[in-house]
Amino acid sequence: MIGRLTRALAFVTAASLVLAACGPSGTAGPSPTGGGAASATPRGPKDQLKLPSVVSTELNLAALVAYAKDYFGEQNIEITDFVLGTSGTLRAAVIAKEYDFGLFAFVHDPIARIAGSPWKAVVTTYDREIFSLLVRSQLKDQVKTVADLKGKNVGVTGPGSGSWAMANVYLKKAGLTPDKDVSLVNLGGDTAVIYTALQSGKVDAISSWEPITSRVIETGAGFPLVSIWDAAQHKEWVGSDHALGFALMTREDVIQSKSDLVKRMVAAHKKALEFIKASTADTLAGTILGNTKAAEQFQGLDRATVVKLIDRIKSGYGTGCLSKSGFDVEMNLALTYQLVKQAITFNEFADTQFAGDCP
């Protein structure tokens, strides 16, 4: 009798343990009394950020990869939106502390600092200049050199933007005075508007970047007068085969108050840059186009064009380190062609504690 009772109690106890272990699916997660599991520190709520930028493949590809591959999520960051617009307007918003981070061309850092907002580049997103000079196809027999643009209209996004800066470099280097020999037309940051302005003849040329450049070339709407992706032409016009042209930027107050967040933002970008360097253009196109939010920046382009586009620019991606010589190239252009009012130093421009520095 006692033996039967003992076996019955053992069966009930075992059954209870099985039921507890296989409890309802809605109770996933460690028990509060579970020894080793209780010692693990739970992650807090994700830092939610909006990331301002213009629609630029060169500038944004690392961030788009980090978004599509959830590298931001791995760093406990949620990018709730890419805030797309004209770079000058977005620069003003970061200065006004509406956003803590932004993806910007070199020129915005010294402009912001000179305006009283101490910005810092914290990770390089592209190690070259990106702006080509494209001319509408109807002028192919008339415009053979940059000097031939005298009397013509050249489209830029707006004063103080990266496209404006390089348009000034090209025109001034060719002996032309912007707004005197050539009319600079402000088109804003909408890539469709910029493309249509060239196609329709509203402007004769544009200071162009990807994905606009590929769309213009693939549709025959224009031809490159300066092909900045070509290494020889890059060196001819920029003075070097590399430049610290584009970066994730923030303000000094953000670094002081949220240094861990800055570190994690940089880590996500650096991991994305590693993926870019290790992957084919086809793989990268699939990664981006396979994510609804990331694919929005390639509207109107088929996969084959996106693959060709990425292949054209892929060699310009590095590790994210901040290059002193690359800074010198950009600062020299900014001073020589009067793009900024005064020089700033590399230490003022960049904070290298997160991504590191390089020659």
Judgement on whether residues 137 and 122 belong to the same structural domain of the protein = no
275: three-class secondary structure by DSSP: helix
Judgement on whether residues 265 and 171 belong to the same structural domain of the protein = no
Tokens of 106: 């070199």
Judgement on whether residues 204 and 283 belong to the same structural domain of the protein = no
Query: Longest Cα pair distance anywhere in the chain, in angstroms?
Result: 111
Q: What is the CATH number of the domain that holds 139?
A: 3.40.190.10
Judgement on whether residues 303 and 339 belong to the same structural domain of the protein = yes
Instruction: Report the pLDDT value the prediction gives residue 44, as an integer from 0 to 100.
Output: 87
Evaluate whether residue 55 is within a structural domain. Answer: yes
Judgement on whether residues 136 and 125 belong to the same structural domain of the protein = no
Instruction: Report the pLDDT value the prediction gives residue 68, as an integer from 0 to 100.
Output: 99
Instruction: Report the pLDDT value the prediction gives residue 170, as an integer from 0 to 100.
Output: 99
Show Cβ contacts of residue 332 under 8 Å, excluding neighbours closer than 6 positions.
239
Give the pLDDT of the chain (359 residues) as one tens digit per residue: 334 434 433 433 333 433 333 333 333 333 333 333 333 456 889 999 999 999 999 999 999 999 999 999 999 999 999 999 999 999 999 999 999 999 999 999 999 999 999 999 999 999 999 999 999 999 999 999 999 999 999 999 999 999 999 999 999 999 999 999 999 999 999 999 999 999 999 999 999 999 999 999 999 999 999 999 999 999 999 999 999 999 999 999 999 999 999 999 999 999 999 999 999 999 999 999 999 999 999 999 999 999 999 999 999 999 999 999 999 999 999 999 999 999 999 999 999 999 999 99
Judgement on whether residues 142 and 222 belong to the same structural domain of the protein = yes
| Total tally of structural domains belonging to the chain | 2
Judgement on whether residues 138 and 113 belong to the same structural domain of the protein = no
Tokens of 20: 């507890």
Q: pTM, whole model, 2 decimals?
A: 0.87
Tokens of 140: 């192919």
Instruction: Report the pLDDT value the prediction gives residue 9, as an integer from 0 to 100.
Output: 35
Per DSSP, what are the bridge partners of residue 213? Answer: none
Tokens of 51: 């990331």
For the chain, what's the residue count? Answer: 359
Judgement on whether residues 110 and 141 belong to the same structural domain of the protein = no
Evaluate whether residue 31 is within a structural domain. Answer: no
Judgement on whether residues 158 and 251 belong to the same structural domain of the protein = no
Evaluate whether residue 7 is within a structural domain. Answer: no
Residue that finishes a domain, picked among 227, 261, 282: 227
Judgement on whether residues 107 and 184 belong to the same structural domain of the protein = no
Residue that finishes a domain, picked among 197, 227, 257: 227
Per the structure, the complete domain to which residue 142 belongs is given by 132-227
CA distance 59 to 124: 9
202: three-class secondary structure by DSSP: coil
CA distance 238 to 41: 50
Judgement on whether residues 77 and 204 belong to the same structural domain of the protein = no
- pLDDT, one tens digit per residue, over 188-221 is 999 999 999 999 999 999 999 999 999 999 999 9
DSSP assignments along 29-60, one per residue = S--TT-HHHHTSPPP-PPEEEEEEE-S-HHHH
Evaluate whether residue 297 is within a structural domain. Answer: yes
Evaluate whether residue 185 is within a structural domain. Answer: yes
Judgement on whether residues 125 and 257 belong to the same structural domain of the protein = yes
Residue that finishes a domain, picked among 203, 227, 251: 227
User: Are the CB atoms for 249 and 121 separated by under 8 Å?
Assistant: yes
Evaluate whether residue 332 is within a structural domain. Answer: yes
Evaluate whether residue 349 is within a structural domain. Answer: yes
Evaluate whether residue 6 is within a structural domain. Answer: no
Give yes or no for a cis peptide into 211 (omega within 30° of 0).
yes
